[in-house]
């Protein structure tokens, strides 16, 4: 409160733009009003343009211009100043200015955060968009541990600077290596994505993003620049590997593992209709048959099935290897046999509704799978956000424990089929190597290491249905996709690691300069969803009312995500 009061008086007293000694480019003061945000809309749905617009004020989900990304209360949540950080000195001076003027600091690289954690009312924003990207390769890079130490690591890496997004890294790596990347090309590589865990469609074979980070370079709020790895500042290293961005310092560089190049083979199946509402009863039977198959098979797939996603009407499965290696694995023939022999196609109607049989396509590399040369800086080859992202702020994601899928398959089937109208279309396929990493090795919610999928829903009540089906006693959320009004968010996001992370936040930001919503140590107003769950049977009844409009949106969403 004291900070807010001070901020308001500062704003009234300041007529010229901010000048911070030693910092080349600063913007503001900004008024915390709708009109300040308006230039963000002119970027339309172009995710590259949104990240670079309006002096760092834009969010990819425009609803996140509001506190808690909540359009109902509609309280604007814009920073007072932004600092266009280009080097350590800019960040150090920004911290000093914020400390001297009793301001909180927020950090943003792209503004992709679904919870609005990269914007904070009245704060000084450290905007990392124009920070150096580095992107140099180092063979046999070593961490600071002695060669005899159990945590000694030596690996080929790419050095990624704070301004890089996946687009830049994928282009730098090209066909030379495999690199574990996120979905969207415009998501930052070492900012929120990495510090929130970093799920990838190749994680079942290689692990998640934080499993690739050998060390971090961080600017702390006390003005020092430190390195953190398994043997130097190892507690900070732990915190940065899943404990959320914007909390312990500003990450400016990471040495990130690269692997020998591998072919990528993608297997796809889909169920499409011209009008889903009209054929809903029949379609929902086909959906249930697919779910039954997937519940039975997915927990046992080999790690070479390195990731992908599924929804009621499709499967997009990524195999890290050639098509002939994929075919020799056996799953594809089981899938084809299921399609031929088990899926009831008797009532499908030509040109009205039907299923596309499992098919596959081989790419020479991850680079080619992600779109190849034509995809770099091409808005059509990646996520469409901004004006196309309305409603995304209602999305929830919840981790589905492998044990539940194995032991309560019938209940899971009932849940998924009932939720079909509300289920997201990029439900992540997890498990594999992700689950081989010890839970104390990184700070992601420990339950992420015993999960098989992350399930997405798109409204409050369906989110609550999944939350009640698998509670925080046995799981939690994927931090990077979780809901901005997630109840009991500290536990849901960080599980049993929260208290440790809180003491590390206090150690590394002892003045409590950094502050962001749903971040460890957050200070400020709280809000959470309190909607009732749909009783599972009630949702089933609602299925038949699913409109063809929803389904058109679904199909366009599927096509969008095919581009990721």
Ligand X SMILES: Cc1cc2nc3c(=O)[nH]c(=O)nc-3n(C[C@H](O)[C@H](O)[C@H](O)COP(=O)(O)OP(=O)(O)OC[C@H]3O[C@@H](n4cnc5c(N)ncnc54)[C@H](O)[C@@H]3O)c2cc1C
Q: Which residues bind ligand X (CB under 6 A)?
A: 60, 107-114, 117-118, 128, 162, 182-184, 187-188, 191-193, 195-199, 245-246, 250-251, 383, 385, 480-481, 516, 519
Q: What letters, b where the CB count within 10 A reaches 16 and e where it falls short, cover 336-355?
A: eebbeeebeeeebeeeebbb
**CB of residue 508 to ligand X, shortest distance in Å:** 12
Nearer to ligand X, 383 or 414 (CB): 383
257 phi, psi to nearest 5 deg? -65, 140
**CB of residue 52 to ligand X, shortest distance in Å:** 12
* CA atoms of 461 and 466, how far apart (whole Å): 9
Alpha helices by DSSP H, listed for 86-227, are: 88-100, 166-173, 192-195, 203-206
Q: For residue 476, give the nearest of 464, 492, 462, 460 by alpha carbon.
A: 492
Nearer to ligand X, 61 or 417 (CB): 61
Nearer to ligand X, 209 or 321 (CB): 209
**CB of residue 255 to ligand X, shortest distance in Å:** 15
Nearer to ligand X, 186 or 543 (CB): 186
**CB of residue 315 to ligand X, shortest distance in Å:** 17
* CA atoms of 184 and 491, how far apart (whole Å): 27
- Strands 105-108 and 124-127, bridge-based pairing: parallel
**CB of residue 240 to ligand X, shortest distance in Å:** 8
- Taking CA atoms, 437 is separated from 28, 211, 233, 244, 347, in Å, by 44, 8, 20, 18, 46
Nearer to ligand X, 208 or 355 (CB): 208
Nearer to ligand X, 117 or 144 (CB): 117
Residues contacting residue 102 through CB under 8 Å, at least 6 positions apart: 2, 3, 6
Nearer to ligand X, 162 or 321 (CB): 162
- Taking CA atoms, 341 is separated from 206, 314, 359, in Å, by 34, 18, 16
**CB of residue 234 to ligand X, shortest distance in Å:** 18
Q: At 554, list the tokens.
A: 């679904």
Q: What letters, b where the CB count within 10 A reaches 16 and e where it falls short, cover 53-66?
A: bbbbbbbbbbbbbb
Is residue 88 a contact partner of residue 111, using CB atoms and an 8 Å limit? no
**Cα 128 versus chain centre, distance:** 18
Nearer to ligand X, 163 or 354 (CB): 163
Residues contacting residue 540 through CB under 8 Å, at least 6 positions apart: 417, 418
Nearer to ligand X, 62 or 481 (CB): 481
Nearer to ligand X, 286 or 519 (CB): 519
**CB of residue 247 to ligand X, shortest distance in Å:** 7
Nearer to ligand X, 110 or 289 (CB): 110
**Cα 501 versus chain centre, distance:** 20
**CB of residue 409 to ligand X, shortest distance in Å:** 26
Angle of helix 409-419 relative to helix 280-297, nearest 10 degrees, comes to 140
Q: At 148, list the tokens.
A: 């005899």
122 phi, psi to nearest 5 deg? 70, 10
**CB of residue 10 to ligand X, shortest distance in Å:** 22
Q: What letters, b where the CB count within 10 A reaches 16 and e where it falls short, cover 268-284?
A: bbbbbbeebbebbebbb
**CB of residue 181 to ligand X, shortest distance in Å:** 8
Is residue 47 a contact partner of residue 186, using CB atoms and an 8 Å limit? yes
**CB of residue 273 to ligand X, shortest distance in Å:** 26
**CB of residue 21 to ligand X, shortest distance in Å:** 23
- Residue 228, SS3? strand
Nearer to ligand X, 182 or 311 (CB): 182
């Amino acid at each position: 409160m004291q900070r807010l009061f001070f901020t308001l008086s500062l704003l009234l007293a300041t007529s010229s733009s901010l000048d911070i000694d030693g910092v080349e480019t600063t913007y503001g003061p900004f008024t915390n009003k709708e009109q300040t945000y308006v230039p963000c809309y002119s970027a339309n749905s172009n995710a590259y343009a949104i990240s670079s617009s309006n002096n760092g004020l834009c969010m990819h989900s425009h609803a996140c211009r509001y506190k808690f990304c909540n359009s109902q209360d509609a309280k604007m949540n814009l920073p007072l100043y932004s600092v266009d950080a280009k080097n350590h000195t800019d960040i150090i001076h920004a911290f000093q200015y914020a400390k001297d003027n009793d301001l909180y600091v927020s950090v943003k690289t792209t503004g992709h955060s679904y919870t609005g954690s990269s914007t904070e009312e009245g704060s000084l924003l450290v905007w990392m968009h124009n920070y150096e990207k580095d992107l140099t390769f180092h063979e046999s890079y070593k961490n600071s541990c002695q060669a005899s130490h159990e945590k000694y690591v030596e690996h080929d890496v790419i050095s990624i600077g704070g301004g890089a997004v996946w687009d830049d890294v994928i282009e730098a790596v090209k066909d030379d290596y495999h690199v574990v990347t996120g979905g969207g090309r415009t998501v930052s590589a070492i900012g929120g994505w990495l510090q929130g865990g970093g799920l990838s469609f190749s994680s079942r074979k290689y692990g998640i993003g934080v499993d690739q980070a050998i060390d971090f370079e961080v600017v702390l709020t006390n003005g020092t620049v430190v390195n953190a790895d398994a043997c130097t500042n190892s507690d900070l290293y732990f915190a940065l590997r899943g404990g959320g961005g914007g909390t312990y310092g500003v990450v400016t560089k990471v040495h990130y593992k690269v692997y020998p190049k591998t072919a990528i083979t993608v297997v796809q199946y889909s169920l499409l209709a011209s009008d889903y509402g009209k054929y809903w009863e029949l379609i929902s039977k086909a959906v249930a048959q697919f779910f039954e198959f997937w519940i039975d098979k997915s927990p046992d797939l080999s790690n070479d099935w390195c990731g992908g996603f599924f929804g009621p009407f499709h499967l997009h499965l990524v195999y890290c290897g050639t098509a002939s290696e994929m075919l020799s694995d056996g799953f594809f023939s089981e899938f084809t046999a299921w399609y031929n022999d088990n899926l009831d196609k008797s009532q499908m109607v030509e040109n009205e509704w039907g299923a596309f049989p499992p098919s596959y396509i081989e790419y020479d590399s991850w680079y080619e799978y992600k779109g190849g040369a034509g995809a770099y800086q091409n808005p059509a080859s990646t996520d469409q956000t901004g004006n196309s992202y309305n409603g995304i702020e209602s999305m929830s994601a919840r981790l589905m424990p492998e044990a539940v899928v194995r032991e309560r398959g019938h209940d899971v089937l009932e849940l998924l089929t009932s939720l079909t109208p509300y289920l997201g279309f990029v439900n992540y396929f997890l498990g594999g190597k992700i689950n081989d990493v010890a839970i104390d090795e990184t700070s992601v919610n420990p339950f992420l290491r015993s999960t098989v999928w992350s399930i997405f829903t798109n409204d409050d009540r369906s989110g609550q249905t999944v939350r009640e089906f698998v509670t925080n006693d046995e799981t939690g959320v994927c931090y990077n996709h979780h809901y901005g009004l997630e109840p009991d968010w500290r536990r849901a996001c960080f599980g049993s690691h929260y208290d440790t992370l809180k003491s590390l936040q206090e150690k590394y930001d002892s003045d409590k300069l950094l502050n962001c919503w749903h971040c460890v140590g957050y200070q400020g107003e709280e809000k959470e969803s309190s909607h009732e769950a749909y009783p599972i049977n009630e949702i089933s009844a609602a299925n038949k009312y699913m409109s063809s409009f929803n389904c058109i949106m679904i199909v366009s969403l599927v096509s969008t995500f095919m581009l990721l």
